[in-house]
Amino acid sequence: MNILAVGCHPDDLEIGCGGTLAKYSKLGHKVVMCHVANGNLGHVIIGKEELREIRAREAKESAAIIGAESVTLDVGDLHVESSNKELVKKMIEVIRFYKPDLIITHNPDDYMRDHVETSKLVFDASFGSSIPHMETKSEAYGNIVPIFYMDTLAGVGFLPTEYVDISDTIETKLKALSQHRSQIDWMLEHDKIDFLDFVRTCSKFRGLQCGAAYAEGFRQCMAWPRLRTERLLP
C-alpha cells in the first residue's frame, strides 16, 4: 500500500503516528510523510529562515529513520488556512502524485489552529483530488481514500477506536523524533521538558488501554465513500 501521513509541523507525525509509520515501512509499504507548515516560528532565538532550513533537514533525517519519504508544503507557521485555494491545490497535487491507499492526519479537534486547519485541508483535498476539472500537474486520482485521525497532543480529549501495537517500533519512533534537535534539545535545556519521555509515556498509556507494551491510537473519519471492509492499520 501507499501510506500518506500529513502533519502540520515537522515532528507532529513522529509524535502522533511515528511507530505506526515505521511499522508500515517495515512491512514493505511505501510511506510518505508530508508536513504542511515549515516550523519557522518554533524557536525564540534561531531566526525564521534559518529555522525553516534546519527543520526541513531534521524532518528528512527523521523520515529516513522511519523509512519514509519527506515532503513539505512549506507554509509559514500560523498561516495554515484550509480556505486558501492555492494551498488546497498543493495538497491535492501531493495526493494525486503519491496515490495513497489511506491518509493519516490530525484529529479535526486538536490543541492549536494550524493542526485543525491541516485536518480540514486534508479532508477537502482528498475529495478534490478526484475531481478532473480541479486541475493540477497530475491527473485526477479516482480514489477517495480512508482517513485516519491520529492522537491529539498528550491524548487530551481523544478516545481511540483503533489501536496499533508499536512495541516493536517504539525505539524507532523515539529515535526519529530525537532528530528534531531544534525542538527536543531546546525544550530539555531551556524548559526542562523531556519531550522524548513525554511521548514514550503517551505511547505506554495507549498500550495500557489495549494490552500492548506500547501503542498508538486512531479514529477513522466516518464519511462516505471512505470506508472499507478490511482493516487498513497495521
- Which positions touch Zn ion (CB under 5 A)? 8-9, 12
- And the C-alpha cell for 44? 525564540
- Distance from C-alpha of 101 to C-alpha of 147, rounded to nearest angstrom: 9
Q: Is residue 120 within 8 Å of residue 87, measured between CB atoms?
A: no
Q: Is residue 197 within 8 Å of residue 111, measured between CB atoms?
A: no
Q: Where are the alpha helices (DSSP H) in 153-226?
A: 170-177, 181-191, 195-210
- Cα separations in angstroms, 134 against 22, 27, 31, 36, 108: 33, 34, 25, 20, 24
DSSP state of 212: S
To Zn ion, the closest distance from the beta carbon of 197 in angstroms equals: 18
To Zn ion, the closest distance from the beta carbon of 230 in angstroms equals: 31
To Zn ion, the closest distance from the beta carbon of 35 in angstroms equals: 9
The amino acid occupying position 89 is K
Q: Which is nearer to Zn ion, 20 or 129 (CB)?
A: 20
DSSP state of 154: G
Strand partners, 103: 4, 147
Closest to 141 (Cα-Cα) out of 149, 127, 130, 150? 130
To Zn ion, the closest distance from the beta carbon of 210 in angstroms equals: 25
Q: Which is nearer to Zn ion, 72 or 136 (CB)?
A: 72
To Zn ion, the closest distance from the beta carbon of 181 in angstroms equals: 16
To Zn ion, the closest distance from the beta carbon of 216 in angstroms equals: 16
Q: Which is nearer to Zn ion, 9 or 90 (CB)?
A: 9
Q: Is residue 147 within 8 Å of residue 232, measured between CB atoms?
A: no
Q: Which is nearer to Zn ion, 113 or 190 (CB)?
A: 113
Q: Which residue's Cβ lies closest to Zn ion?
A: 9
Q: Which is nearer to Zn ion, 150 or 212 (CB)?
A: 150
Q: Which is nearer to Zn ion, 129 or 183 (CB)?
A: 183
